[in-house]
Structure formats: structure tokens, C-alpha cells
């Protein structure tokens, strides 16, 4: 579109501007924000009154100078912060990158990037825009990226180029002649979702988030990769997640506004009372003192009017301006003390505390709720394989009475074994090496095949790179038991099974997500048979079993015992697939994979058809230890009257036991489950008022629904893990609209230092995620700890629902003895 000499571009440029002010807007916008404070309006009003000689008690400039000083201090603080934003924008926009021009790559600035440009990236480069990965120097055109600047996850993730570009774009000449067309969704903030289609040489090739390199990622363990710009600048997903820079209002600010208005109303009433007294006494006074009348030329009404304003100016000192100026310097001093605090210094990274706002001390003092995820925040995110259940039989580790328990290494026979694995069980090892039990064989084969781990060879040793530490622990355990994952291509997986190398053709990979809560891989083995291997949450696996017998019941009991030990569990299952069934299913899968609308839903239905009639193999149990100091930290927070909420996707029994382990829960607490919540209105409603809880289905019950017996609709759902689209909007301290309470949140992505992070990061982050199918867990206690929310993963959700739930919940959370009182 165009208007006069201005023409709107079809696509956004890659230039970003996150600063709040410019040269022309700084003064008016700053004054506009300053006079949102009622105290500044009050002082301005008094200065105007002091300008009238008839009612003035002081020269007007004696009050105007302190007001200007106060406004200047606050404006200078805002200006310094905004100069930092301008400087950060300039650094980011001027970063260099290589862009294909003609038949060679030239160095240009990020701000010169446009949609459709072909970019070359090298190891440790930051991705300048949202790119479609076309090729890389790694096998199968893989590219390893670190997303710590986006979601805080330090584990490397891999992205893969589409097979067609991997095979065709093998040289710069081929890239220069590339004439493909990408049709994709409109720019949006969903970080883990992308739907597109590559049209090239008369064929359509499906694209998804696994083919995308997002702006802000850092290339790791990959020498060179090539990509084409899909979204640039403010159309990129990380920029779509950036909230606007706005003026923060603390609880004290709002309280001061109310107090100033209250004092002003009081002054008006007092001045009116004194003025009426003057009205009634002035005539009698003038009659007794006749000489006074000659000095006053105004009527009684006019004199009363002037006396009213005179009293108002005389009593205006009830709101001292010096106090506000002093508070600003106190804020500055407190922020300096935070920077100097030795106890907040982190020696391993040589990083001291840094207060990025002079009012940080005031803001932290308003925090009443802390949200935290469990994995990587309360726990170390270091997974250890502890136990497993195969065919209904539990195989413990070093503490298994049936195991050897000896100090010698039982894996010396396996040259690929990882010496760091502590799990040892002689009985299980004998069963594996004898290779007579099919269930045991398929159990370890599944762990070696059904995953997204990538492997590299360094110094004649296999090194696994996994996006999830759980997967790495499982694949390492299979490796030690003789089922060694050796290599992966786009259509095959190579496994060494007890010394025999076998190559499995990958027919379909059904990825894990928070809706499915499982992962499956469909492969053709060297003998030509087709097998489906599936691992996931016990609930979804047991729903899809062909039959249930003694083995299944024994496995359920084993899962319950693992949960009591706070272990993370997964169920494993498989089935053999007929060739005819696969051919029919493959056609539907191909059609669903190239859809641009509702592709995820169509693929979900196709996957659902295949993942039926499974045979249970067993379950795994992994330990993730608590971090050092977690218990002491939670204890200190409780002493500070701060309520801690922890969200976890574990089984309910695991969640409760972890709550007790980190002292979030105590024996004095009453734990209510779903069936105890869903009672008729009356007894249940009266007993639970003031208690926070989630409701099954992934929804959070609003406050007004509590009063009506819990029979009303639900609020929105909680965001999925690692999605700063919803996190980012909650990353700044949240203000309760009614009560002025503040909430902080902690999660895996609590970074706020680098320029790219500053675009979306604030002091805090919202927790990792929860989902549909949540089971309710309610905690009421005399202690000042509200709840450990057990929410099982169930999909991409909207984050503000959790905050709105607590906003509605808080007014009824003052009952004596309640968890939120």
C-alpha cells in the first residue's frame, strides 16, 4: 500500500527499535508519565495557587524549584534506562552476518537483512532472523542450537534441513540458483510452532518448527549452516513475544496516590470549615474593630472565597515535597547496596548482583507469591537411571537385594559402555546377555531407537547430544546394556545390539508434545518387519494397550512405588504393524503433513490411529535430585510470608513426595484431592474458601466460581514449557488489579542480562507448564505456603489464566488457617 510519497513494505525489515523515547517524544512523554502521580499534580496545583498574591504564603518559585528537581531526578533515571535501550538496539542492528549476493557471501549488518535473503552462519554465531534451515556441513544437514537466550534451556537442540534442500543445495552455485517458494503462516508469537510448505520444482515439501532457526538462538557444534530468512525484525517470534516498555507502578505508588487524594480531600473539608467560620464571624469582628473595614475592599463573600484558598495553601505542607525527593535518593542508595552485596555475588561465574532499576528494592518488597517450575529450578536437571520394570519385574540398582552390589564394573565386556553410569543389576545384565527373553530385548531396543538424541564421535568415544536429559539418561543406560545407538540419518537409525550392527529404516517419527504426552517411532527392521515403538506417560500408554493382565497390573504397582521414591517414570510399549495397514496409513500421513491449516490436528488424528493395540514392555525410573539449598530457600521465603507455588507434570504421588522433600509441604497440611473438591455446594464450598486449586481439564477455577459451589466455567489454561510468548508477557512483576499484590516467578529461563534477552526479559519468569488432563491437588495449612500444583502436561496454553485465577482468588484467601491467608 502507498500514500503520497510513503509506501508500505510487504515484509518487515530486520531493524529493531525497543527504546521508549526519542529526541522529540522524551519531554512530553516523560511529563505525561510523571503527572500520573497524584502527588505531582498536587504540588503543581499548590504552586499555581501560590502565584496569586492575595492568597500566597510563599513566593511561587520556592516550591517550583523543588518540583522541577523531583521531576528531573525521575526523568534522568528514565533517560538513562532508555539510553541503554538505544545503545543495545544499535549494537544488535549493527551485528555482522554473511548474506548471499550474486554468487558469493558478503558481510553485511543485521539491519540490512530482508525476507528471502540467504544467510551463512558459523559456529557460535547468533541467528539474526527466523530462518528456514536449508543445509549444513553436518551429516543429514543437522544444526545444533542453544536456546538459552530464548527459553533458558542450556541443553543443545538440533534442527534439520528438509531432505530435498539437503540433497540439492550442496554448493554455493546451487544456492544462488535456488528458486523455491515458501508458503507459511502469518507471523505469530508461538515459539514452538511453525507450519509451512516449500514449493520447488513442482512439488510441495512440508515444513515445521524442526526446520527453523529462530532469532536469538546460537549455533553450536556446527561448522557452517545456511538458511533463508522467513521472518525479519518485529515479525520474528522472539520480537512478537516482546511486551511494550511501560511504566511500572508499585503497590506503594498506588497507595501514595490514594493517600494524597485522601489528604487533599481532608484539606478541602478543613479549609471549608474554617471559611464558614470566617463567614459567620467576620461581620461581628468588623463591627467591633471599625478600622479593619477600611483595609479590606472586598465583599464578605469575596473575602470568604479568598480565605478558603489561603487556608488551603497554608495547610498544603501536610504533603511534604522534601519527603518524595528523599525517597528517590533512598531508592538509589538501596540499589547501590544490592550491587555491593557480597552474599549475592556468584563466584563460579564471577558475576555480582546488578540492580537494573533504582526502585528494585521497593519492587522486591511487594512480592507475595513466587511461581516456580520443578525441573531445573528446584532440581539439578541431572538425570540418573535408577530402576526399571520389565515384564512386571522390578530391577533395582545398587540397592537391589538380588543384584550383585559389588564394587567391580559389570560393563567391562562392552567396549561402548559409559563408565559414568552407576546403575548395576547382575540379574538384569544376565538376562540381556543371554538374549532369550523377547520382552527384555525389545525393552532395550526401544530405548536405543525411540528418541531424538544425536550422536558424535570424539576421541574414539560416542558423545550423545540430547535436547532432554531424560532421553540422554535412557539412551546411555541402553548403551551400557549392549544396545548402543551409533548413528542417525534423516531416514535411518543404526544400533549395535550385543555386538551386531543393525540399521533400522525410519518410516515415521511421531514427536512428543504436551498434548500427546508420548513419542513414537515407526521403523522397518533389517528383516523387513515393521514395528512401532512408543514411550510416554503411564496414563496415555495404558489407555492404548491391547489387553491388560497380570504383567500390566504388576507394572502399575511398580510405577506407584517409583513415584513414592520421587522418581520420574516413563512407560514403554510396542507392536508389530502389517504391511498393508502401513501402506494405507502412510498415504493419510503424507496428506496430513503438507496441510497448511490444522496440520497439527490432522497429524494428531493420524498418529492416534497408529498408536493403538500396544503391548506393554515395562517402565523406567529416573532420579533428578534437588539442588543444594532448596529447602533453606523455601524456609526463608516462608518466614518472609511469601507464598510459593510449584508446578510439575509428574505423577500426583511423585509431586506430593517432592513437595515434602523440599519442605514445601509439611505434615500439618491437609491435602485435598479432586473427589474432595467436587462436592455439592455448601459444605465443600465453605470448607475450601480461601484455598487455591487447579481443576481437572487443565483449567483454573475463577474466584467467583468458588462462591457458587464450583459449578461454573473455567478460566484459561497454563502456558507450555519454554514458551516465552506467554512467559514474556508475565515476566515483569505483575500487579494485582484489585489488591496491588505482586507475584514473582522462577523457571528454567531466568536470564536477563544480554542485549537480545533485554528485549523480552524482565526480573522474573513464569513457570514451566501445565496442561489439560490436570488432576487437582489442594493444600490448606496454617503455614504460609499455599500449594504445590500438580498439573499434567496437556498442550499449548494461554498463560494469563493462571494470573487471573490468583487475582480472583486472593480476595477470599484471608480465612484464618488457610494456605493463602
Least confident of 81-90, 293-302, 628-637, 654-663: 293-302
Pair 425, 401: CB distance under 8 Å: no
C-alpha cell belonging to residue 56: 500566597
Q: What are phi and psi of 377, to 5 degrees?
A: -110, -60
What does the pLDDT look like over 238-249, one tens digit per residue?
A: 998 886 666 667
Residue 41's region, left for phi above 0, alpha for psi from -120 to 50, else beta, is alpha
What does the pLDDT look like over 241-275, one tens digit per residue?
A: 886 666 667 777 888 889 999 999 999 999 999 98
Pair 790, 741: CB distance under 8 Å: no
Per the annotation, the verdict on 208 as an active-site residue is no
How many Cβ atoms sit within 10 Å of the Cβ of residue 816?
A: 7
Distance CA 537, CA 571 (A): 6
Looking at residue 420, its pLDDT comes to 81
Looking at residue 734, its pLDDT comes to 37
Average pLDDT for the chain: 77
Whether the pLDDT of residue 523 is over 90: the answer is yes
Whether the pLDDT of residue 729 is over 50: the answer is no
Looking at residue 126, its pLDDT comes to 94
Pair 794, 647: CB distance under 8 Å: no
Pair 700, 805: CB distance under 8 Å: yes
What is the pLDDT averaged over residues 774-780? 32
Task: Give me the percent of the chain exceeding a pLDDT of 70.
Answer: 77
Looking at residue 296, its pLDDT comes to 58
Task: Give me the percent of the chain exceeding a pLDDT of 90.
Answer: 29
Whether the pLDDT of residue 56 is over 90: the answer is no
3-state secondary structure (DSSP) of residue 643: strand
The distance from CA 395 to its chain's CA centroid, rounded to whole angstroms, is 36
Pair 619, 553: CB distance under 8 Å: no
Residue 233's region, left for phi above 0, alpha for psi from -120 to 50, else beta, is left
Least confident of 110-114, 130-134, 372-376, 427-431: 372-376
Binding site residues, as ranges? Answer: 373-375, 471, 512, 535, 568, 648-650
3-state secondary structure (DSSP) of residue 75: helix
**Which of 138-152, 380-394, 791-805 holds the top average pLDDT?**
380-394
**pLDDT-derived band of residue 108, with 50, 70 and 90 as boundaries?**
very high
DSSP state of 716: P
Work out the angle between the directed axes of helices 300-314 and 251-288 (0-180°, nearest 10): 140
Catalytic residue among 373, 400, 470, 538: 373
Least confident of 180-194, 522-536, 572-586, 649-663: 649-663
Unique residue bearing C-alpha cell 562392552: 414
DSSP string, 450-500: SS--EEEEETTEEEEE-SSHHHHHHHHHHHHTTEEEEEE-SSEEEEEETTE
Whether the pLDDT of residue 194 is over 50: the answer is yes
**pLDDT-derived band of residue 526, with 50, 70 and 90 as boundaries?**
very high
**Which of 147-161, 359-373, 395-409, 489-503 holds the top average pLDDT?**
489-503
- Greater confidence (121 vs 751) lies with 121
Pair 498, 433: CB distance under 8 Å: yes
Distance CA 292, CA 290 (A): 5
What does the pLDDT look like over 435-488, one tens digit per residue?
A: 889 999 999 999 999 998 888 888 888 888 887 888 899 999 999 999 999 988
Looking at residue 704, its pLDDT comes to 31
Pair 85, 20: CB distance under 8 Å: yes
Looking at residue 753, its pLDDT comes to 35
3-state secondary structure (DSSP) of residue 394: strand
What does the pLDDT look like over 789-808, one tens digit per residue?
A: 444 333 333 444 444 444 44
Q: What are phi and psi of 622, to 5 degrees?
A: -120, 140
Looking at residue 800, its pLDDT comes to 44
Looking at residue 133, its pLDDT comes to 93
Looking at residue 819, its pLDDT comes to 33
Looking at residue 679, its pLDDT comes to 54
What is the pLDDT averaged over residues 175-189? 89
Pair 508, 450: CB distance under 8 Å: no
What is the pLDDT averaged over residues 12-21? 88
Residue 222's region, left for phi above 0, alpha for psi from -120 to 50, else beta, is beta
C-alpha cell belonging to residue 6: 510513503
Pair 519, 511: CB distance under 8 Å: yes
**pLDDT-derived band of residue 398, with 50, 70 and 90 as boundaries?**
low
Whether the pLDDT of residue 44 is over 80: the answer is yes
Binding site residues for ATP, as ranges? Answer: 373-375, 471, 512, 535, 568, 648-650
Distance CA 138, CA 265 (A): 73
Looking at residue 231, its pLDDT comes to 93
Looking at residue 295, its pLDDT comes to 57
Q: What are phi and psi of 571, to 5 degrees?
A: -105, 145
Unique residue bearing C-alpha cell 551485528: 95
C-alpha cell belonging to residue 8: 508500505
**pLDDT-derived band of residue 811, with 50, 70 and 90 as boundaries?**
very low
- Greater confidence (799 vs 297) lies with 297
- Greater confidence (220 vs 4) lies with 220
Q: What are phi and psi of 601, to 5 degrees?
A: -65, -40
Pair 749, 722: CB distance under 8 Å: yes
Annotated domain spans of the chain:
11-91+246-324, 97-240, 326-362, 381-624, 627-812
- What CATH architecture applies to the domain 381-624? 3-Layer(aba) Sandwich (3.40)
- Greater confidence (604 vs 700) lies with 604
**pLDDT-derived band of residue 232, with 50, 70 and 90 as boundaries?**
very high
pTM for the full model? 0.69
**pLDDT-derived band of residue 724, with 50, 70 and 90 as boundaries?**
very low
**pLDDT-derived band of residue 618, with 50, 70 and 90 as boundaries?**
very high
Whether the pLDDT of residue 732 is over 80: the answer is no
Residue 211's region, left for phi above 0, alpha for psi from -120 to 50, else beta, is alpha
Identify which of 283, 245, 239 has the alpha carbon closest to the alpha carbon of residue 85: 245
Label the pairing between strands 6-7 and 96-101.
Answer: unpaired
Distance CA 765, CA 755 (A): 17
Distance CA 170, CA 412 (A): 43
What is the pLDDT averaged over residues 590-602? 86
Q: Which residues pair with 463 in a beta bridge?
A: 456
**pLDDT-derived band of residue 219, with 50, 70 and 90 as boundaries?**
very high
Whether the pLDDT of residue 687 is over 70: the answer is no
Least confident of 71-85, 679-693, 711-725: 711-725
The distance from CA 576 to its chain's CA centroid, rounded to whole angstroms, is 39
Pair 395, 427: CB distance under 8 Å: yes
Whether the pLDDT of residue 27 is over 80: the answer is yes
Looking at residue 751, its pLDDT comes to 35
CATH 2.70.150.10, applies to 97-240: yes
For residue 799, the surrounding DSSP H or E stretch is none
Looking at residue 723, its pLDDT comes to 43
3-state secondary structure (DSSP) of residue 522: strand
Whether the pLDDT of residue 730 is over 50: the answer is no
Binding site residues for Mg(2+), as ranges? Answer: 373, 375
Whether the pLDDT of residue 813 is over 70: the answer is no
Work out the angle between the directed axes of helices 438-449 and 469-480 (0-180°, nearest 10): 140
- Greater confidence (155 vs 185) lies with 185
Looking at residue 756, its pLDDT comes to 35
3-state secondary structure (DSSP) of residue 174: helix
Distance CA 626, CA 742 (A): 27
Unique residue bearing C-alpha cell 513466587: 370
Q: Which residues pair with 99 in a beta bridge?
A: 106, 119
Whether the pLDDT of residue 558 is over 60: the answer is yes
DSSP state of 370: E
What is the pLDDT averaged over residues 725-753? 39
Looking at residue 574, its pLDDT comes to 95
- Greater confidence (763 vs 610) lies with 610
Identify which of 629, 564, 781, 618 has the alpha carbon closest to the alpha carbon of residue 692: 781
How many Cβ atoms sit within 10 Å of the Cβ of residue 759?
A: 23
| Complete edge-to-edge strand list for the sheet that includes strand 104-109 | 104-109, 96-101, 118-122, 224-231, 130-136, 212-213
The distance from CA 311 to its chain's CA centroid, rounded to whole angstroms, is 55
Distance CA 771, CA 697 (A): 8
What is the pLDDT averaged over residues 721-747? 40
The three-point CA angle 286-288-291 to 5° equals: 60
The three-point CA angle 226-232-237 to 5° equals: 95
- Greater confidence (290 vs 215) lies with 215
Looking at residue 95, its pLDDT comes to 94
- Greater confidence (129 vs 411) lies with 129
Cα-based distances in Å from 668 to 86, 350, 688, 782: 53, 41, 16, 7
Pair 226, 143: CB distance under 8 Å: no
How many Cβ atoms sit within 10 Å of the Cβ of residue 800?
A: 17
Looking at residue 287, its pLDDT comes to 67
**pLDDT-derived band of residue 677, with 50, 70 and 90 as boundaries?**
low
- Greater confidence (506 vs 412) lies with 506
DSSP state of 198: E
Distance CA 634, CA 638 (A): 6
Whether the pLDDT of residue 731 is over 60: the answer is no
Domains 97-240 and 381-624 share a fold: no
Least confident of 121-135, 504-518, 519-533: 504-518
3-state secondary structure (DSSP) of residue 281: helix
Residue 54's region, left for phi above 0, alpha for psi from -120 to 50, else beta, is alpha
DSSP state of 65: H
Amino acid at each position: 500500500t502507498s500514500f503520497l510519497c510513503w509506501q508500505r513494505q510487504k515484509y518487515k525489515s530486520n531493524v529493531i527499535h525497543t527504546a521508549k523515547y526519542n529526541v522529540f517524544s522524551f519531554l512530553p512523554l516523560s511529563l505525561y508519565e510523571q503527572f500520573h502521580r497524584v502527588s505531582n499534580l498536587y504540588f503543581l496545583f499548590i504552586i499555581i495557587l501560590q502565584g496569586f498574591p492575595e492568597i500566597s504564603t510563599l513566593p511561587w518559585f520556592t516550591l517550583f524549584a523543588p518540583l522541577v528537581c523531583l521531576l528531573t531526578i525521575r526523568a534522568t533515571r528514565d533517560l538513562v534506562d532508555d539510553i541503554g535501550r538505544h545503545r543495545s538496539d544499535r549494537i544488535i542492528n549493527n551485528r555482522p552476518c554473511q548474506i548471499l549476493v550474486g554468487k558469493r557471501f558478503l558481510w553485511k549488518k543485521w539491519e540490512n537483512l530482508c525476507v528471502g535473503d540467504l544467510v551463512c552462519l558459523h559456529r557460535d554465531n547468533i541467528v539474526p532472523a527466523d530462518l528456514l534451515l536449508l543445509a549444513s556441513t553436518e551429516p543429514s544437514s543437522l544444526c545444533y542450537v542453544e536456546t538459552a537466550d530464548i527459553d533458558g534451556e542450556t541443553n543443545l537442540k538440533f534442527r534439520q534441513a528438509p531432505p530435498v534442500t539437503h540433497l540439492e543445495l550442496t554448493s554455493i552455485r546451487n544456492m544462488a540458483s535456488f528458486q523455491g517458494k515458501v508458503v507459511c503462516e502469518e507471523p505469530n508469537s508461538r515459539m514452538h510452532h511453525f507450519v509451512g510448505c516449500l514449493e520447488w520444482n513442482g512439488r510441495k515439501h512440508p515444513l515445521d518448527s524442526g526446520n527453523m532457526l529462530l532469532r536469538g538462538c546460537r549455533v553450536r557444534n556446527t561448522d557452517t549452516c545456511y538458511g533463508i530468512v522467513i521472518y525479519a525484525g518485529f515479525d520474528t517470534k522472539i520480537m512478537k513475544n516482546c511486551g511494550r516498555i511501560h511504566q511500572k507502578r508499585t503497590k506503594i505508588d498506588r497507595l501514595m496516590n490514594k493517600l494524597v487524594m485522601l489528604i487533599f480531600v481532608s484539606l478541602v473539608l478543613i479549609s471549608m470549615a474554617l471559611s464558614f467560620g470566617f463567614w459567620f464571624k467576620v461581620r461581628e469582628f468588623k463591627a467591633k474593630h471599625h478600622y479593619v473595614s477600611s483595609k479590606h475592599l472586598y465583599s464578605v463573600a469575596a473575602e470568604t472565597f479568598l480565605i478558603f484558598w489561603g487556608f488551603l495553601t497554608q495547610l498544603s505542607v501536610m504533603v511534604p515535597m522534601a519527603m518524595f525527593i528523599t525517597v528517590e535518593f533512598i531508592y538509589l542508595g538501596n540499589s547501590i547496596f544490592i550491587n555491593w552485596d557480597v552474599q549475592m555475588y556468584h563466584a563460579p561465574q564471577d558475576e555480582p548482583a546488578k540492580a537494573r532499576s533504582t526502585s528494585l528494592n521497593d519492587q522486591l518488597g511487594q512480592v507475595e507469591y513466587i511461581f516456580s517450575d520443578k525441573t531445573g529450578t528446584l532440581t539439578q536437571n541431572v538425570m540418573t537411571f535408577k530402576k526399571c520394570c520389565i515384564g512386571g519385574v522390578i530391577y533395582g540398582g545398587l540397592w537391589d537385594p538380588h543384584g550383585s552390589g559389588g564394587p567391580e564394573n559389570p560393563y567391562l565386556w562392552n567396549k561402548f559402555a559409559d563408565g559414568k553410569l552407576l546403575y548395576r543389576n547382575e540379574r538384569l545384565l544376565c538376562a540381556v546377555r543371554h538374549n532369550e527373553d523377547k520382552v527384555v530385548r525389545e525393552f532395550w531396543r526401544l530405548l536405543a531407537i525411540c528418541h531424538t538424541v544425536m550422536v558424535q564421535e570424539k576421541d574414539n568415544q560416542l558423545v550423545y547430544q540430547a535436547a532432554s536429559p531424560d532421553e540422554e539418561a535412557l539412551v546411555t543406560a541402553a548403551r551400557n546394556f549392549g544396545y548402543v545407538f551409533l548413528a542417525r540419518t534423516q531416514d535411518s537409525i543404526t544400533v549395535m545390539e550385543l555386538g551386531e550392527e543393525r540399521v533400522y529404516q525410519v518410516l515415521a517419527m511421531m514427536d512428543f508434545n504436551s498434548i500427546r504426552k508420548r513419542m513414537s517411532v515407526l521403523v522397518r527392521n533389517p528383516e523387513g518387519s515393521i514395528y512401532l515403538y512408543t514411550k510416554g506417560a503411564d496414563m496415555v500408554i495404558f489407555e492404548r494397550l491391547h489387553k491388560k493382565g497380570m504383567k500390566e497390573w504388576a507394572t502399575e504397582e511398580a510405577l506407584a512405588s517409583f513415584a513414592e521414591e520421587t522418581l520420574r517414570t516413563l512407560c514403554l510399549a510396542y507392536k508389530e504393524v502389517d504391511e498393508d495397514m502401513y501402506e494405507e496409513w502412510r498415504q493419510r500421513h503424507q496428506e496430513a503433513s503438507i496441510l497448511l491449516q490444522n496440520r497439527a490436528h490432522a497429524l494428531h488424528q493420524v498418529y492416534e490411529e497408529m498408536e493403538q493395540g500396544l503391548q506393554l514392555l515395562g517402565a523406567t525410573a529416573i532420579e533428578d535430585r534437588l539442588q543444594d539449598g532448596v529447602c533453606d530457600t523455601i524456609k526463608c521465603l516462608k518466614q518472609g510470608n511469601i507464598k510459593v507455588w510449584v508446578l510439575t507434570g509428574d505423577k500426583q504421588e511423585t509431586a506430593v513426595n517432592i513437595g515434602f522433600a523440599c519442605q514445601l509441604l509439611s505434615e500439618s497440611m491437609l491435602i485435598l484431592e479432586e473427589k474432595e473438591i467436587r462436592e455439592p455446594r455448601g459444605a465443600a464450598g465453605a470448607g475450601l474458601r480461601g484455598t487455591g486449586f487447579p481443576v481437572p481439564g487443565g483449567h483454573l477455577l475463577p474466584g467467583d466460581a468458588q462462591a457458587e459451589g464450583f459449578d461454573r466455567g473455567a478460566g484459561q489454561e497454563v502456558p507450555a514449557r519454554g514458551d516465552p510468548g506467554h512467559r514474556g508477557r508475565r515476566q515483569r512483576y505483575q500487579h494485582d488489579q484489585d489488591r496491588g499484590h505482586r507475584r514473582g516467578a522462577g523457571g528454567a529461563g531466568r536470564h536477563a542480562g544480554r542485549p537480545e534477552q533485554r528485549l523480552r526479559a524482565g526480573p522474573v519468569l513464569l513457570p514451566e507448564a501445565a496442561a489439560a488432563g490436570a488432576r487437582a491437588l489442594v493444600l490448606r495449612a496454617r503455614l504460609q505456603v499455599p500449594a504445590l500444583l500438580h498439573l499434567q502436561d496437556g498442550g499449548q496454553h494461554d498463560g494469563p489464566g493462571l494470573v487471573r485465577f490468583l487475582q480472583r482468588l486472593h480476595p477470599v484467601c484471608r480465612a484464618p488457617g488457610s494456605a493463602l491467608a
